[in-house]
Amino acid sequence: MDNVESAKKAAAIKAIDNHVKDTHRVGIGSGSTVIYAVERLAERVHKEGLRVTCVPTSFQARQLIVTHDLILSDLETTPQLDVAIDGADEADAELTLIKGGGGCQLQEKIVAAAAKLFVVIADYRKDSTVLGDQWTKGIPIEVVPMAYRPVQMKIESELGGKAVLRQAKAKAGPVVTDNGNFVLDWVFDKTYNWQKVNQQIMMIPGVVETGLFVGMAKIAYFGMEDGSVKEREV
pLDDT at 170: 87
Q: How far apart are CA 138 and CA 211, in angstroms?
A: 9
Question: Per DSSP, which regions of 87-133 are E strands?
Answer: 90-91, 97-98, 115-123
Long-range CB contacts (within 8 A, 24+) of 111-114: 111/27, 111/29, 111/55, 111/56, 111/57, 111/75, 111/81, 111/84, 111/86, 112/27, 112/84, 112/86, 112/213, 112/216, 112/217, 113/216, 114/27, 114/55, 114/75, 114/79, 114/80, 114/81, 114/84
- Catalytic residues, by residue number, are 108
pLDDT at 176: 95
Report the sign of the C-alpha dihedral through residues 157, 146, 207, 86, in that order: negative
pLDDT at 1: 73
What 3-state DSSP class applies to 94?
coil
pLDDT at 149: 98
What 3-state DSSP class applies to 211?
coil
Q: Quote the distance between the C-alpha of residue 74 and its chain's center.
A: 17
Burial code of 65-80, b = ≥16 C-beta within 10 A, e = fewer?
beebebebbeeeebee
In the chain, what are the domains?
3-128+214-225 (3.40.50.1360), 139-209 (3.30.70.260)
Question: Per DSSP, which regions of 57-168 are E strands?
Answer: 71-72, 81-86, 90-91, 97-98, 115-123, 139-143, 162-165
Q: Give, for all 234 residues of the chain, the pLDDT tens digit.
A: 799 999 999 999 999 999 999 999 999 999 999 999 999 999 999 999 999 999 999 999 999 999 999 999 999 999 999 999 999 999 999 999 999 999 999 999 999 999 999 999 999 999 999 999 999 999 999 999 999 999 999 999 999 999 999 999 988 999 999 999 999 999 998 989 999 999 999 999 999 999 999 999 999 999 999 999 999 999
